[in-house]
């Protein structure tokens, strides 16, 4: 914890004064263009990965970068998505998974979650991705199968996103673009889903659309 406190003090005394104009501008409001839904894993830093400035990203984080399908039950994810689209007017939504994801390991092996009932219930939103991966890639095992499940989970959560009324309306009106990403922690590379090829490819400077 001492390291975190030291970081806060360094920010206050060194970083903030250098960027004071930016923070003064942000103090009165925000206008991000991108909603990023990613994992709560401590190794994922959306700002660092994208080299975004404060105010650029509206970020939702949870175990497994999950988007529950829309329902009458109000949850934090649903409210955040609604606010980002309807109020902030984001134009792009990114669902970003990552390599070595513990949530995906749990979805693959639900028997290991008997002592974690809330985690188990949450990961029910990802188990269809496991089923799809098993059907599509019956011979994969270990890290290769985990990679396949991670990618299928991103695509599944994009499907869930489309069930949210504000997202469905934005897509119908051509105001929103969806993106599926997987961040490779060990290589510092992002792979984006390309609907034209049906595969995840290293992100290049082009509009990758799910």
Asked if 137 contacts 96 with a C-beta cutoff of 8 angstroms, the reply is no
For the entire predicted model, the pTM comes to 0.94
User: In what side-by-side order are the strands of the sheet with 57-62?
Assistant: 57-62, 34-39, 92-98, 177-184, 189-194, 199-202
Position 74 scores a pLDDT of: 85
Q: How far apart are CA 54 and CA 30, in angstroms?
A: 9
Return the domain boundaries, the chain. 1-29, 31-202
Is 60 annotated as ligand-binding? no
Is 25 annotated as ligand-binding? no
Is 139 annotated as ligand-binding? no
Position 209 scores a pLDDT of: 58
Position 72 scores a pLDDT of: 87
The alpha carbon dihedral of 65, 68, 73, 79 has a sign of positive
Q: How far apart are CA 161 and CA 168, in angstroms?
A: 8
Domain spanning 31-202: CATH 3.40.1050.10: yes
Position 207 scores a pLDDT of: 56
Position 210 scores a pLDDT of: 63
Q: What is the pLDDT along the chain (210 residues), one digit of tens a residue?
A: 999 999 999 999 999 999 999 999 999 999 999 999 999 999 999 999 999 999 999 999 999 999 999 998 888 999 999 999 999 999 999 999 999 999 999 999 999 999 999 999 999 999 999 999 999 999 999 999 999 999 999 999 999 999 999 999 999 999 999 999 999 999 999 999 999 999 999 998 655 556
Is 41 annotated as ligand-binding? yes
């Amino acid at each position: 914890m001492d390291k975190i406190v030291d970081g806060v003090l360094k920010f206050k005394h060194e970083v903030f004064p250098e960027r004071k104009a930016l923070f003064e501008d942000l103090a009165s409001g925000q206008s991000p263009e991108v909603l990023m839904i990613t994992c709560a894993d401590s190794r994922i830093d959306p700002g660092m990965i994208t080299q975004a400035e404060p105010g650029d990203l509206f970020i939702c984080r949870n175990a497994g970068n999950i988007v529950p399908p829309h329902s009458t039950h109000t949850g934090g994810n649903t409210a955040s998505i609604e606010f980002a689209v309807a109020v902030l007017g984001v134009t792009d939504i990114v669902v970003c998974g990552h390599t070595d994801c513990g949530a995906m390991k749990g979805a693959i092996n639900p028997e290991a979650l008997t002592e974690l009932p809330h985690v188990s219930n949450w990961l029910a939103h990802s188990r269809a991705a496991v089923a799809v991966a098993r059907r599509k890639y019956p011979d994969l095992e270990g890290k290769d199968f985990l990679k396949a499940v991670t990618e299928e989970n991103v695509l599944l959560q994009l499907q869930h996103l489309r069930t949210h009324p504000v997202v469905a309306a934005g897509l119908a009106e051509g105001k929103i673009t969806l993106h599926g990403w997987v961040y490779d922690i060990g290589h510092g590379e992002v792979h984006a889903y390309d609907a034209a090829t049906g595969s995840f490819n290293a992100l290049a400077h082009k509009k990758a659309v799910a």
